[in-house]
A = this chain, B = another copy of it.
Amino acid sequence: MTLRPLLLACALSATALAATAAAPYRSMQQILDASPASDWRTPDPANTLYMELDAGRVVIELAPGFAPQHVANIRTLAREGFWDGTSIYRVQDNFVAQFGDADADDAAKARSLGSAKRKLPAEFERDATGLAFDRLPDSDGWSPQVGFVDGFAAGRDPATDKAWLAHCYGVVGAGRNLDADSSIGAELYVVIGQSPRQLDRNITQVGRVIQGIELLSALPRGPEPMGFYAEAAQRTPIRAVHLASEIPEGERTRLQLLRTGTQTFNDVVEARRNRRDDFYKRPAGHIDLCNVPLPVRVAKD
């Protein structure tokens, strides 16, 4: 008796194949294995952040297409070593891990922002005119339309012709105070739980974690209600946050991301909308934006 549940078992059988008149079901991995090299892109090192923790490296792809001024400031902060020696000072269960200068509120202790700008406009949404928006066939209640822009999950409103990044697992946002324009990209958070889509268009998102999210999501939670650590010793030290472009090539993490505008990606989405393997007895015929996998692989030599 085999009781260890598979949950994600993907073995194909004649039964599963017979269940559809369309092409044989292929798992996401089978689809990816068959993809041409041209379906994959290498993230721009000048828009890739490496957060170095004792436990390893977290890789973040920035989204200058949505938050150009925040991303420019983040690049300045990274180049000048703003985050080197700072910490992850807040981890709230089912919500966010947040990092930066834990003493930012204390003028006497706050570290210098160097040549970074002290004031930026809110970048909650952008003009969608002419933007390549690969629409998901499914909708949700958070946004008139949902889909993907250059590998990021996004919402779009045809009435206003605006698009914005969606708060999915792994997304990186710029913490702010009450004013919409109170973020500058120095204090950043990463979503580590159920997607808090209520934050969409309420906060500037700057990118997403493409590798190493588990180094953030598995951190001990801070005290309720908001997860800030009471004592400095509980915080997770950050050795450095640097741009990949500032790191010697040999020390870079060589990742490739599946292009979201490809047939391969569409096939992945459909394989997840309707899981026709032996495990699933009732394919959902649906997927939520934040359940769509955004495949990342290590580049081959």
A residues touching B (Cβ–Cβ < 8 Å)? 1-9, 11, 91, 93-96, 98, 100-101, 104-105, 107, 118, 124, 138-142, 168-170, 174-178, 180, 182-184, 186-187, 189, 193-203, 213-214, 217-221, 225-226, 272, 275, 278-284, 286-288, 290-291
Contact = CB atoms under 8 A, between A and B. Distances in A.
Given A169-B194, A175-B7, A178-B9, A141 B142 contact: no
Given A139-B141, A141-B288, A213-B93, A5 B195 contact: no
A3 B98 contact: no
Contacts of A105: 2-4
A141 B3 contact: no
A280 B180 CA distance: 9
Contacts of A288: 140-142, 197, 288
Nearest to A274: B198
A171 to B, nearest CB: 11
Per DSSP, are chain A's interface residues mostly helix, strand or loop, or mixed? loop
Given A186-B3, A226-B8, A194 B168 contact: yes
B141 A183 contact: no
18 contacts: A3-B100, A3-B105, A3-B182, A7-B175, A94-B217, A124-B281, A138-B141, A139-B141, A140-B141, A180-B281, A194-B291, A196-B291, A198-B291, A201-B282, A202-B282, A214-B221, A217-B221, A288-B288
Contact of A94 (B1, B169, B183, B282): B169
Contact of A11 (B2, B96, B178): B178
B93 A5 contact: no
Contacts of A3: 100-101, 104-105, 175, 177, 182-184, 186-187
Contact of A197 (B199, B221, B284): B284
A5 B183 contact: yes
Given A5-B203, A197-B284, 10 more contacts: A5-B176, A5-B187, A7-B226, A8-B225, A139-B141, A140-B288, A142-B284, A194-B194, A197-B288, A197-B291
A237 to B, nearest CB: 17
A5 B198 CA distance: 16
Contacts of A138: 141
Contact of A189 (B5, B203, B281): B5
Contact of A202 (B186, B225, B279): B279
**A4, A214, A279, A280: residue with the most chain B Cβ atoms closer than 10 Å:** A4
